[in-house]
Amino acid sequence: MAKLTFTGGIHPYDGKDLSKDDPIRDVLPGSELVYPLSQHIGAPAKAIVAKGDRVLAGQKIAEAGGFVSAPVHSSVSGTVKAVEPRRVATGDMVMSIIVENDGQYEDVGFQPRSSVGKMKREEITEIIREAGIVGMGGAGFPTHVKLSPKEPDKIDYVIANCAECEPYLTSDYRRMIEEPEKLVGGLKIILGLFPNAHGILAVEDNKPDCISRLQELTRDEPKLGVRALKTKYPQGGERQLIFATTGRKINSTMLPADVGCVVNNVDTVVAVYRAVTEGRPLMERIVTVTGDAVVKPANFRVKTGTTYAEVLEAAGGFREKPEKVICGGPMMGFSMFDLNVPTTKTSTALLGLTKDEVAAMEPGPCINCGRCVAVCPGRIIPSRLADYASHFDEEAFVANYGMECCECGCCSYICPAKRPLTQQIKSMRKIQLAKRKK
Amino acid sequence: MGELYKVSSNPHIRSKVATNGIMLAVVIALMPAAGFGIYNFGPRALAVMLVTVASTVLTEFLFGLYRRKLTITDLSAVVTGLLLALNLPVTIPLWMAALGGVFAILVVKMLFGGLGQNFMNPALAARCFLLISFPTAMTAFDCDAFTGATPLAALKAGEQVKVLDMVIGRTAGTIGETSVIALAVGACILILMGIIDLRIPGSYILSFLIFAGLFGGHGFDPSYLAAQLSGGGLMLGAFFMATDYVTRPITGRGQYVFGIFLGLMTGIFRIFGPGAEGVSYAIILGNLLVPLMEKYTMPVAFGYGKGGKRREK
């Protein structure tokens, strides 16, 4: 059964003290907001507005491009300036809708709903779909798809991923401290979709204040429980989380629903709550701005489409020029070369580091020490897989479970020879995934 | 576009542990044994150590000059040199010690591709090379401090041995192998620092003791087993040589197989072989079988097999 932890994993410097104690503040966007049409996994959304149209905050400006897709909403009122490719945080050019902010923040008029309990399953998933909700922990998988498994009766656990194992990030922590009722409320709504399910709030034990607060709120809820998980990266990884809370195991070819689980991140659950009860689509999120290069690390409520540069400005900017700027956490986030790109539904954090540890270290030969094997949560042999990848031995890579890598980065982190193990495995996985799609 | 920042693939942080740090820790962990060797055998032991370390480091440096690659900063040559010295008798001619260092680094390590590519433990391979080439000098354990046979040879000849002396290390033998206490202190340092674990030493020693108990002719007599445990290169080999990262299996189960194999081979060599020693050859032989052991002990990824649902197609 549940062991509240998993085998492998690492304990990096967590840097959460930098930003965890400041209450969430609002950031007002600048004059121009950019809404990429691909902020999620799946088909890009299709723009339904054109240049010159006036839009309101909360108005749908692009509709889902398929079942696995999500609509996009404007987070401000203003005029559509253009629909054109724009650079996004990953460095790619993505078709985007550009809205000129009129500074009025006039919204479409959100309709709160009171009779949530009486709503049918299809109605609720439709609201979630229309609200454009996607997994906000970083992956961006459309939530309505996750909530529509083939056999809803066979779902035993709905898990709210409150682990926040990624170093430096504190946005989920602040959410849990400031709006725990919305988290619990959202979880109850999702639980309503699955008649046989129990709800689990899975929190790492480095957040005792969240645990006790959530325990108070769920005391009278027989179907809800809080689990204190051992603090270890990547405890919030989907496979590790399911194992730690239920003792069930999934591999890369399976979905959580295959073992009767549904997992959603804190911000996603809150977004579900707001969409269903308040009628508000997904148009803002909490972003942690932190790192030793930032003047005043803190958490911000950001309207999607605001640029990273504007969010950084709210945190006082950089105290010195950082060597590296990361979108997300230091373990799984990606580095950005420019800050004038929009935040999206999946922007968890902006991290500015004065020193780039990676560039300062010269990779040496593998000494076969086995540290990567010890920390790998996928229980595979990263050093060998990286070898297969660099020799382009596809057969050996796949036969030795190379596709099971979750790219958590533990192996590269721990490697005393400073070898880029995750990176080599990741590129080979991309090649293999691309071949499968053909 | 504004100012540009550096980009690279995740993760963006690295642990502080580096290869040379690990090597340095091994050197530190060998210090009790080395120090006791000098105390036990006199200053010539220090001379042997200096010669082997100088020889291994210089060989690697010169090879690095030829290949235009400076590799001695990883400190692995120092570890090899020190381990080699601890495996030599104090009376060995210094030129032989130096030759052993050259063999360890040049033939066993660098010619196979340098650190991480050697398939045998360089120090042990050099010891075996010297044993075969200069058997008399390599087994001359008479010195100023001690005369007569090593405890294991005495044990094999059916004589009484003083186990307490063996544990403390006041016996004849190679420079670094005699003191169980000094080696245990070093092993504890390595274990506490997380550099080695007990899989290999534990399964090695345990399987050897069981073998010695079954076939040694003394049954499970505690004093006989204690003498077998404390004598010869077993402690040095089990904690410092068999655990060498490069030449042991990387898989967890493979490490147990490796340890048990070493225990059995050491038992066979010591009890049925012509000599009293067997650790060096057992480890070298085990090193050669590492790829095979790894092949049959490859782990099953998380989510497959027991507890997982679907199997690999």
B262-278 pLDDT, tens digit per residue, is: 999 999 999 998 877 88
Strand partners, A387: none
- In terms of CA atoms, which chain B residue is nearest residue A424? B9
CA A332, B308, A161, A37 torsion-angle sign: positive
- Contacts of residue B82, defined as CB under 8 A and 6 or more positions apart, other chains included, come to B27, B30, B34, B49, B52, B53
A352 contacts A294 by C-beta, under 8 angstroms = yes
One-letter amino acid of A38: S
Q: Residue A344 pLDDT > 50, yes or no? A: yes
Indicate yes or no: CB of B302 within 8 angstroms of CB of A323. Answer: no
Q: What share of chain A is helix, strand, coil (3-state, %, to 5)?
A: 30, 20, 45
Strand partners, A264: A160
Size of interface A-B (CB pairs under 8 A): 182
Q: Residue A320 pLDDT > 60, yes or no? A: yes
Mutate one of A335, A398, A400 to test the B interface: name it (highest B CB count within 10 A): A335
Mean pLDDT computed over A58-79? 93
In Å, how far is A5's CA from the nearest CA of chain B? 14
The helix or strand, by DSSP H or E, that contains position A278, with its residue range, turns out to be none
- Residue of A7, A251, A373 with shortest CB distance to B250: A373
Q: Residue B2 pLDDT > 60, yes or no? A: no
Query: Which residues in chain A have their CB less than 8 angstroms from residue B196's CB?
Result: none
The residue ranges of DSSP E strands in A64-115, in sequence order, are: 72-73, 78-87, 93-101
- In terms of CA atoms, which chain B residue is nearest residue A167? B13
The confidence score (pLDDT) of residue B308 equals: 56
The confidence score (pLDDT) of residue A115 equals: 78
Q: Residue A1 pLDDT > 60, yes or no? A: no
Q: Is the peptide bond before B201 cis (omega within 30 degrees of 0)?
A: no
- Contacts of residue A148, defined as CB under 8 A and 6 or more positions apart, other chains included, come to A125
B180 contacts B169 by C-beta, under 8 angstroms = yes
Each residue's pLDDT tens digit, A95-106 = 999 999 998 899
Mean pLDDT computed over B32-40? 95
Each residue's pLDDT tens digit, B74-114 = 999 999 999 999 999 999 999 999 999 999 999 999 999 99
Indicate yes or no: CB of A338 within 8 angstroms of CB of B2. Answer: yes
B3 pLDDT tier (thresholds 50, 70, 90): low
- Contacts of residue A127, defined as CB under 8 A and 6 or more positions apart, other chains included, come to A275, A276
In Å, how far is B129's CA from the nearest CA of chain A? 24
- Residue of A251, A340, A370 with shortest CB distance to B2: A340
Please identify among residues 73-92 of chain B the ones whose CB lies closer than 8 Å to any CB of chain A. 74, 76
**Residues written for chain B:** 313
Q: Residue A298 pLDDT > 60, yes or no? A: yes
B150 pLDDT tier (thresholds 50, 70, 90): confident
In Å, how far is B11's CA from the nearest CA of chain A? 4
DSSP reduced 3-state for A58: coil
Query: Which residues in chain A have their CB less than 8 angstroms from residue B246's CB?
Result: 367-368
In Å, how far is A52's CA from the nearest CA of chain B? 26
Q: Residue B4 pLDDT > 80, yes or no? A: no
Label the pairing between strands A93-101 and A78-87: antiparallel
B142 pLDDT tier (thresholds 50, 70, 90): confident
In Å, how far is A308's CA from the nearest CA of chain B? 13
Rounded Cα distance, B14 and A415, in Å: 8
Indicate yes or no: CB of B19 within 8 angstroms of CB of A336. Answer: no
Query: Which residues in chain B have their CB less than 8 angstroms from residue A367's CB?
Result: 19, 22, 76, 115-116, 245-246
CA A147, A150, A155, A157 torsion-angle sign: negative
Each residue's pLDDT tens digit, A111-122 = 888 877 788 888
Q: Residue B1 pLDDT > 70, yes or no? A: no
Query: Which residues in chain A have their CB less than 8 angstroms from residue B117's CB?
Result: 365
User: pTM of this prediction?
Assistant: 0.92
ipTM of this complex prediction, to 2 decimal places: 0.90
Rounded Cα distance, B40 and A206, in Å: 51
Buried b (16+ CB within 10 A) or exposed e, A56-93: bbbbbbbebbeeebbbbbbbbbbebbbbeebbbbeeee
Q: Is the peptide bond before A234 cis (omega within 30 degrees of 0)?
A: yes
The mean of the pLDDT values for chain A is: 92
